[in-house]
């Protein structure tokens, strides 16, 4: 949700314009579910509903649990990259490096793609190892200044909570 709020505000061109857009979305929002499982169950029974959610969760619910879910990535979608690193000064550096090398092999990345809907960021993978839907999906990533995002994220989320979500 924090990424959605921040990306919406960035896309709007100004903080105030972004908050105004979020205010309109909020006015059209029927309910906020308290947990992912409640959201999934509610959407399964009400197939005409839409939500903002992370793509891997929608795919996992569809593939593993048979939920009637699909997704649409808009143009200029915010993309979060999950990272892995060896920490400087780690007490077991050699083991950390072995783990890093294992996790980033083509086989491990293909497994993560197929089992957990994690889209690899490497572009040297054999695409035949990836699920068909992943090869067919083109991502038009939003360019985000992550330094600015990090500096303003809390302010944006606080404004959303007070001026939109909790506003009367």
- In this predicted model, what pLDDT tens digit does every residue of 137-166 receive, in sequence order? 888 999 999 999 999 999 999 999 999 999
Residue with tokens 């550096």: 93
The token duo for 5 is 């709020």
Same domain, 91 and 114: yes
Same domain, 146 and 67: yes
Same domain, 14 and 62: yes
Residue with tokens 């050699």: 94
Same domain, 72 and 111: no
Dihedral angle computed from the Cα positions of residues 151, 154, 160 and 161, in that order, rounded to the nearest 10 degrees: -170
Distance of CA 139 to the CA centre of its chain: 12
Q: Which domain holds residue 99?
A: 81-138
Q: What are phi and psi of 37, to 5 degrees?
A: -65, -40
Same domain, 106 and 134: yes
Same domain, 126 and 108: yes
Same domain, 73 and 156: yes
**pLDDT tens-digit profile of 13-63?**
999 999 999 999 999 888 888 888 888 888 888 877 888 888 898 899 999
> For the whole prediction, is pTM greater than 0.75?
yes
Q: C-alpha angle with apex 84: 78 to 87, nearest 5 degrees?
A: 130
């Amino acid at each position: 949700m924090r990424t959605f709020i921040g990306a919406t505000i960035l896309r709007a061109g100004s903080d105030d314009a972004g908050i105004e857009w979020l205010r309109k979305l909020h006015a059209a929002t029927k309910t906020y579910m308290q947990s992912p499982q409640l959201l999934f169950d509610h959407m399964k029974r009400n197939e005409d509903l839409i939500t903002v959610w992370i793509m891997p969760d929608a795919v996992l619910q569809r593939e593993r649990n048979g939920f009637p879910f699909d997704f649409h990535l808009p143009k200029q979608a915010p993309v979060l990259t999950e990272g892995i690193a060896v920490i400087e000064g780690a007490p077991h550096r050699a083991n950390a490096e072995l783990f890093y090398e294992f996790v980033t092999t083509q086989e491990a990345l293909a497994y993560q793609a197929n089992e957990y809907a994690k889209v690899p960021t490497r572009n040297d993978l054999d695409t035949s190892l990836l699920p068909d839907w992943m090869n067919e999906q083109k991502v038009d990533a939003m360019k985000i200044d992550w330094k600015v995002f990090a500096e303003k994220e809390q302010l944006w989320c606080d404004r959303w909570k007070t001026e939109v979500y909790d506003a009367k």
